[in-house]
Homo-oligomer: A and B are copies of this chain.
């Protein structure tokens, strides 16, 4: 993949995660990369193509992390995910899910499909990690793992959204409480 192509996807991801899909334009990307709008159309004929590339890359990233961390205990897997959200929070970025699901109905069909796929992959992964944690004794929670996974994903997604509006300390409060709720041997 050429540098320019990758830089475009990088910038598109940043813009989606700060301003939202409907609020950024090819001009925003062209401006900072010092290229022309048409150069972006050369790599990504339509804005939908660019959006799809951003989401596809995220799906790939999730798949590699899942593989890389597969052997770790359930609670450590969860903490790794939480760590990644800390990274996003530090940069002031929300997650792709938190940015794209509110705009879902306005997204072009192929992009909707990828967003759905991404959601399913995340849910499946989180469900597996929680199940593993319950089995290996590092996590404890009531109910089905998938329902719990949905609630955990909620908290992660919303912690980035709400902390942007209510102040950054909200982020830590939420994720601290989340881990206390579900971890078996909380460090003190």
Enumerate chain A interface residues (CB-CB to B < 8 A). 18-20, 22-23, 94, 97-99, 101-106, 115-116, 119-120, 123, 142-144, 146-148, 150-151, 153-155, 157-159, 161-162, 164-166, 170, 173-174, 176-178, 180-181
B23→A106 contact, CB < 8 A = yes
B165→A116 contact, CB < 8 A = yes
Bound CA–CA A22/B120 (angstroms): 26
A151→B166 contact, CB < 8 A = no
Interface of A is mostly: helix
Name the residue on B nearest A146 (C-beta). Answer: B173
A154→B158 contact, CB < 8 A = yes
CB pairs A–B below 8 angstroms (22 shown): A19-B103, A20-B20, A20-B102, A20-B106, A22-B23, A23-B103, A94-B102, A97-B161, A98-B161, A116-B165, A116-B166, A119-B162, A119-B165, A119-B166, A144-B177, A147-B174, A147-B176, A147-B177, A148-B177, A153-B158, A153-B162, A154-B157
Bound CA–CA A65/B133 (angstroms): 41
- Tell me how far the C-beta of A36 lies from the nearest C-beta in chain B, rounded to whole angstroms: 24
Q: Which residues of B lie under 8 Å from residue A174 when comparing CB positions?
A: 147, 150-151, 154
Bound CA–CA A147/B71 (angstroms): 32
